[in-house]
């Protein structure tokens, strides 16, 4: 969060001490996500189906390779009848392979779809656990732009994993199918050198392994930097998209401030970082192309060159040569899977790192900072809210109540004030359980769930009726209309079934009024407000307080704010103070991609 003259307790985050997460950690995380997904059975059977199809395709490829010898021998003999017969055999084999290829394409798409569904649902479920998204958003770089990791990265990882996984499986099965064929074909190869005969068992198999192994090693050596470059590019792309969204959401303020030039400069800078990242990727890809393309062209003649000495010695026929060449190409194609996919593997590795590290962060945010002392939150059987020696730790001091022991009874109305930078919103978040670091005890009334009213209300997408009845029992239209009229939003009574982005249609004060209308419709017994009343003018404030008096007469209401607005409504007052002499939170070591240390979080949480 940027420094600002009005920021309470603003502070810049400290550097994090980070340990890298390993590939095994990342793979284990994805395995856990898929293993607990409700989609896992569909995904399992789709994988079983594609394995069966690939095995059947490999059998067809072996039959097609065997077809080479009689077909080319028929051509060499100018045997028309044999030639036509082999064409019919080819049509049968090719027809079966076409059906299998179409089936494989369909299963490929289903696996991509189910894999993305499973991954994205898991990430959404972990992200939306209570308070996780809030804590992660303020936890450093890993919490920035979660939309890209949930939408783009999860989808990209699903596509890459499916494509690379199926390709690897297909290459392995083809290798197993053809290595025996190639070994058998090259078992009779004898080299005649200077009157000596030399037989090398499985000669063409060893030649294919040596050839593909050399190419794979060079490809990995040249293409390895792509992992880092791709990861950096995705980060830069997310920053550019975030900047565009930020400008789009603030176009009115930008226009009023004549800030188009500054906004354009910021966007151009972000675009420049994206283009720089892309240039590094393209340079690495060009270097990789020198290796892969060179080997690709050599492969056109390599199997013939390998088998030619035996052919010219007369030890195999032309059909046998073509059969050996076909088997060599299949084995070599299987072995060069790594060469052909080095760019995709680097991209997959970078994407896996982003998605898995994000999920690791989501899980570890619940157990982070075990070295820090925590506030105890319990329940009071007497139905009262208590604060016992409560001290809330932050980077620049300790926030607490002036009174060490405070008890608030049901139905009480309390005004809680404090100087600027005292940490009023930090106190609000501690009561809500969002900020657990500190000491002391918060005792909540047993069996009650307080309603928390932040300064900036949240409205889910949907109709106005859904916004007002969100997650609660439905109320009548007449009741909704009456409450809207009481807060001065009677004009919205005719829009109950209209869907809209209400945070864009309503002014800031109107959004807060709508939040108070929703509050009284839910009828909570305990209400805790964070400065949401401070911006209202006198007439509006009186109208809201009058509604709360009439409709929440028995509710306990705590208003954390800047000053005493209405001493009759809030007869009791408490004060929040900050002790700047208290020690700051201590940094801890965490894994990269998880969470940054408490000082960074504390600084980010500071209220405006």
What's the rounded mean pLDDT across residues 186-215?
Answer: 71
What are φ and ψ of residue 551, in 5° steps? -100, -20
Q: Average pLDDT, stretch 245-258?
A: 76
| Residues in CB range of 258: below 8 A, 6 or more apart | none
**Of 589, 592, 590, 588, nearest to 22 (Cα)?**
592
- Higher pLDDT, residue 358 or 145: 358
Comparing 9-13, 97-101, 560-564, which segment has the lowest mean pLDDT? Answer: 9-13
Task: Output 4 or 289, whichever has higher pLDDT.
Answer: 289
Query: pLDDT class for 24, splitting at 50, 70, 90?
Result: confident
Question: Lowest-pLDDT range, 245-249, 250-254, 470-474, 560-564?
Answer: 470-474
Q: How confident is the model at residue 194 (pLDDT cuts 50, 70, 90)?
A: low
Q: At what angle do helices 40-77 and 80-127 cross, to 10 degrees?
A: 160
Is the pLDDT reported for residue 295 higher than 50?
yes
Cβ-proximal residues to 287 (8 Å cutoff; 6+ apart), any chain: 222, 223
pLDDT at 16: 35
Taking the C-alpha atoms of residue 582 and residue 594, their distance in angstroms, rounded to an integer, is: 28
Mean pLDDT, range 427-449, rounded to an integer: 89
Amino acid 534: pLDDT: 87
Give the model's confidence band at 241: pLDDT under 50 very low, under 70 low, under 90 confident, else very high: confident
| pLDDT over 60 at 602, yes or no | no
Q: At a CB cut-off of 8 Å and minimum separation 6, what does 466 contact?
A: 460
Assess whether pLDDT exceeds 70 at residue 313. Answer: no
> Strand locations in 461-505, DSSP E?
462-463, 499-500
The gap between the terminal CA atoms of the chain, to the nearest Å, is: 10
- Average pLDDT, integer, range 94-117: 90
Predicted confidence (pLDDT) at residue 584 exceeds the cutoff of 70: no
* Annotated domain spans of the chain: 23-188+315-368, 376-579
Residues across the chain? 608
pLDDT tens profile 62-77: 888 788 888 888 888 8
In the structure, what pLDDT confidence band is assigned to residue 318 with cuts at 50, 70 and 90?
confident
Single pTM value for the model: 0.61
pLDDT of 542-553, one tens digit each?
899 999 999 999
**The pair of three-digit structure tokens given for residue 354, joined into one six-digit string:** 């982003």
User: Is the pLDDT at 235 greater than 90, yes or no?
Assistant: no
Residue 96: phi and psi, rounded to 5, are: -65, -40
CA 291 to chain centre: 34
Q: What is the mean pLDDT of residues 176-200?
A: 69
Give, to the nearest 10 degrees, the angle between helix 154-186 and helix 80-127.
150
Stretch 304-317: mean pLDDT = 70
State how far the Cα of 481 lies from the Cα of 426, in Å rounded to an integer. Answer: 35
pLDDT at 243: 83
Provide mean pLDDT across the span 40-58. Answer: 91
Half-sphere exposure of 320 (CA within 13 A, CB side): 15
The residue among 379 and 3 whose pLDDT is bigger is: 379
The pLDDT score that the predictor gives to residue 134 is 75
Q: Which of 295-304, 315-324, 505-514, 581-590 has the highest mean pLDDT?
A: 505-514
557 DSSP β-pair partners = 413, 527
Tell me the C-alpha distance between 477 and 465, whole Å. Answer: 9
pLDDT of residue 20: 54
478 Cβ contact list (under 8 Å, min separation 6): none
pLDDT above 70 for 195: no
Q: How many CB atoms are located within 10 Å of the residue 88 CB?
A: 9
> Please, which residues bridge with residue 2 across strands?
none
Specify the pLDDT at position 603. 39
| Beta pairing partners, 386 | 407, 443
Task: Please identify, in words, the CATH class of the domain defined by 376-579.
Answer: alpha beta
Alpha carbon separation from 273 to 144, 347, 514 (Å, rounded):
17, 19, 42
Lowest mean pLDDT among 162-176, 302-316, 445-459: 302-316
Closest CA to 431 of 408, 397, 458, 413: 408
How many angstroms separate the CA atoms of 231 and 233, rounded? 5
On whether the CB atoms of residues 445 and 383 are closer than 8 A, the answer is yes
Asked if 123 and 154 touch (Cβ cutoff 8 Å), the reply is yes
Higher-scoring residue by pLDDT: 142, 179: 179
**Which token pair is 364?**
């570890």
């Amino acid at each position: 969060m940027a420094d600002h003259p009005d920021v309470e307790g603003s502070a810049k985050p400290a550097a994090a001490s980070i340990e890298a997460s390993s590939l095994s950690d990342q793979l284990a995380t994805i395995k856990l996500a898929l293993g607990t997904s409700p989609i896992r059975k569909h995904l399992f059977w789709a994988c079983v189906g594609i394995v069966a199809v690939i095995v059947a395709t490999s059998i067809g490829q072996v039959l097609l390779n065997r077809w080479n010898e009689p077909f080319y021998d028929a051509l060499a003999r100018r045997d028309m009848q044999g030639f036509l017969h082999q064409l019919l055999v080819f049509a049968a084999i090719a027809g079966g392979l076409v059906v299998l290829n179409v089936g494989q394409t369909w299963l490929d798409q289903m696996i991509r779809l189910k894999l993305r569904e499973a991954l994205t649902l898991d990430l959404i479920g972990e992200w939306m656990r209570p308070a996780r998204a809030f804590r992660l958003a303020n936890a450093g770089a890993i919490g920035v732009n979660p939309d890209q990791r949930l939408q783009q990265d999860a989808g990209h990882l699903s596509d890459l994993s499916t494509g690379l996984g199926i390709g690897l499986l297909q290459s392995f099965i083809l290798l197993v199918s053809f290595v025996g064929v190639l070994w058998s074909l090259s078992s009779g190869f004898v080299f005649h050198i200077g009157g000596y005969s030399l037989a090398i068992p499985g000669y063409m198999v060893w030649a294919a392994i040596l050839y593909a192994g050399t190419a794979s090693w060079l490809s990995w050596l040249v293409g390895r930097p792509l992992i880092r470059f791709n990861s950096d590019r995705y980060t830069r792309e997310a920053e550019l998209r975030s900047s565009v969204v930020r400008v789009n959401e603030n176009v009115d303020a930008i226009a009023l401030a004549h800030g188009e030039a500054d906004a354009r400069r910021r966007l151009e800078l972000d675009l420049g970082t994206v283009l720089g990242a892309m240039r590094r990727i393209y340079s690495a890809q060009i270097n990789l192309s020198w290796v892969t393309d060179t080997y690709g062209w050599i492969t056109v003649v390599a199997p013939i060159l390998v088998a030619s000495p035996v052919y010219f010695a007369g030890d195999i026929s032309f059909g046998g040569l073509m059969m050996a060449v076909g088997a060599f190409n299949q084995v070599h194609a299987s072995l060069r899977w790594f060469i052909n996919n080095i760019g995709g593997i680097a991209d997959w590795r970078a994407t896996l790192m982003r998605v898995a590290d994000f999920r690791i962060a989501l899980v570890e945010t619940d157990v982070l900072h075990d070295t820090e002392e925590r506030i105890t939150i319990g329940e009071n059987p007497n139905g009262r809210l208590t604060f016992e020696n409560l001290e809330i730790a932050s980077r620049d001091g300790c926030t607490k109540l002036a009174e060490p022991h405070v008890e608030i009874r049901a139905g009480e109305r309390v005004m809680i004030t404090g100087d600027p930078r005292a940490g009023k919103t930090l106190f609000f978040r501690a009561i809500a359980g969002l900020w657990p670091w500190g000491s002391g005890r918060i005792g909540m009334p047993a069996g009650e769930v307080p309603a928390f009213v932040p300064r900036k209300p949240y409205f889910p997408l949907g109709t106005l009726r859904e916004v007002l009845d969100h997650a609660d029992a439905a109320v009548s239209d007449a009741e909704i209309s009456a409450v809207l009229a009481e807060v001065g939003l009677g004009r919205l009574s005719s829009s109950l079934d209209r869907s809209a982005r209400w945070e864009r249609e309503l002014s800031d004060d109107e959004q807060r009024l709508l939040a108070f209308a929703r509050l009284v419709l839910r009828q909570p017994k305990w209400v805790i407000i964070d400065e949401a009343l401070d911006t209202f003018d006198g007439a509006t404030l009186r109208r809201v307080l009058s509604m709360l008096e009439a409709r929440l007469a028995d509710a306990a209401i705590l208003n954390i704010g800047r000053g005493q607005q209405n001493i009759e409504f809030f007869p009791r007052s408490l004060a929040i103070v900050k002790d700047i002499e208290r020690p700051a939170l201590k940094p801890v070591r965490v894994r990269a991609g998880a969470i940054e240390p408490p000082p960074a979080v504390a600084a980010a949480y500071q209220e405006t």
